[in-house]
Each structure stands twice: as C-alpha cells, then as structure tokens.
A = this chain, B = another copy of it.
Amino acid sequence: MKPKEVNQRQFVQSLARGCNVLAKVCKSETQLSLSELAKKSDLSIGAIQRLTYTLENIGLLERDPRTKRFRTGPRMISLALAIVHNMELTKVAHPFMQALSDEIGEVVGLGAMEGDSIILVDIINTQQPKQLLNINRNTGAIIPPHATSTGKAILAFLPESRVEAILSSQGLAKLTDNTIASAKALKRELDLVRERGFATAFDENVYGMTTIGAPVRDSSGDVIAAMTIMIPSMKISKKKFVSAFRKKVVKTADKISAAMGYLKDADK
C-alpha cells in the first residue's frame, strides 16, 4: 500500500508486521486488547486479527481468557530465557558487579555490543527506598553510544570503521546541554578515554546522572562491553566522583575480562 521504498522484492510484509505486533505486546507492561493494538500499529483491524491469531496459534502470544487481552506467550518466554541464558557475559559479570555494588552502595550497570547497538544487559540496583533521584533503567534498554560512559568506553577501543558504522546507525543526538554531539569532539573524547582507560559522562545522556565506565574484553581481546557506576549527579562533585571510583571501575571491569578469558599481558 504505502510506498515502502525501503526494500525490493525480498521483504515479506506480513512477517515484519507480525513481529512488530509481537514486540509491542512483549514490551508492554500491561496487556493489550485487539483494538488497542490496531491503533498502536496503525494496521487495519483485520490485519491485526490475523496476525494475533497466528501468533497465538504458535504460542508466542497468549490471550487472557477473561479479558481477551494479549500478553507474552509461553513459547516467547521460553525463547527469551534461552536467549538470555546463552549470553555468558552476564553470567560471568554478575557476581563481580554485585560485589562492587555491595561495596560502594551505588548502581552498577553492564552494557554490551549487540550488532550496532549497545544494550543494557544487566544492572544492579541499590534499593534505597525513596531517594530524591533514583536511577531507573531496565535491562534491554538501548543506550546511546556517544552520550554514556558505557558507550564511550566501548567505542574508544573499537576499530575506526566499527565506530563509524555504529555512529552512523545510531546518530549523535543532542540529549542534554552536555552531550557531545559533534563527531570531531567525540573523537577527541575517545582519545582521552583510550589514554586513561575509562570513560565518564556528566549529565550527557539525561540530566542528573553521572557515570564512569570501563571496557570489558573477551578472550580474543576485543572490547565487547563496558561496566559502569552510575550515581545521581547531585550526590558528589565530578572530581571526587572520578577519584573515588576510577580505580574500582577499571579493576572490576578487568576482573570480568579476566573471567571471560582475556589475558591482559598476552602481547603488546
């Protein structure tokens, strides 16, 4: 119908539409009705009906028998668990992150490269019941590479070509006044990160969040992720923050790298 010039003759519309519907339901905290789905996807009601019928039939979606609303189906949950399970990184990293978080009493996160995106794959939340400003990110969130310590800690150690690919696919959106939104400035920043071995971000992604991150390597020495400490900016000055945590982030990230099989002094 619509002039989808994105593609040629290889694109199967109904699959893409169906997957989008599936994703909508799975990501939604609440259950969704047929008509809600139709509105959110702007597809005809008939289309949604067929797609959901199919997805339900193969177990990826499920329907509350009372309310007739859709929710994530058993097969989808099984699949999700299998995927997460296959990510050995989180399994390896989690205990180290937990230990660090316990020690310093702050939020610790882990962002990993998946394709050209950086995804928050694990987070240790410190449950201080009602803090003024709470850091509240969920696993699965896609993280802007240029505006986070996680992102910069990864980018700094990737080959030029990968960095360009990632940035061109993700863009350099100006998220706050402090966001480094120019390619040139970012390049300089990455040089600094490389030199120091860790990255920082002061209110660059969202206002009020200060973070410091260090890269994590796999057994072949490639940087595949970064671990971060996140705190509310008002809690401490930049200087104190960096001096207090720089060694701890790097040390913990290095431990994770080691546990992933990376031998620090193998060469160079």
Seen from chain A, the residues whose Cβ lies within 8 Å of a Cβ on chain B are: 6-7, 10-12, 14-20, 22-23, 26-27, 29, 49-51, 53-55, 57-60, 62, 72-87, 114-117, 119-121, 138-142
Contact = CB atoms under 8 A, between A and B. Distances in A.
A11 B57 contact: yes
Nearest to A81: B140
A86 B141 CA distance: 13
A19 B19 contact: yes
A60 B26 contact: no
Nearest to A113: B74
Q: How many copies does the complex hold?
A: 2
8 contacts: A12-B14, A15-B54, A15-B55, A16-B57, A18-B19, A74-B119, A75-B117, A85-B139
Contacts of A86: 29, 72
Given A6-B57, A12-B53, A26-B79, 18 more contacts: A11-B53, A14-B14, A15-B15, A15-B51, A16-B54, A19-B22, A19-B58, A20-B58, A26-B83, A59-B115, A62-B115, A73-B115, A74-B142, A76-B83, A80-B140, A81-B119, A84-B84, A84-B139
A77 B11 CA distance: 22
A77 B85 CA distance: 11
A77 B83 contact: yes
Contacts of A57: 6-7, 11, 16
B119 A16 contact: no
Contacts of A142: 74, 78
A135 B125 CA distance: 31
A177 B116 CA distance: 51
A87 B20 CA distance: 21
Contacts of A18: 12, 15, 18-19
A85 B22 CA distance: 17
A87 B121 CA distance: 15
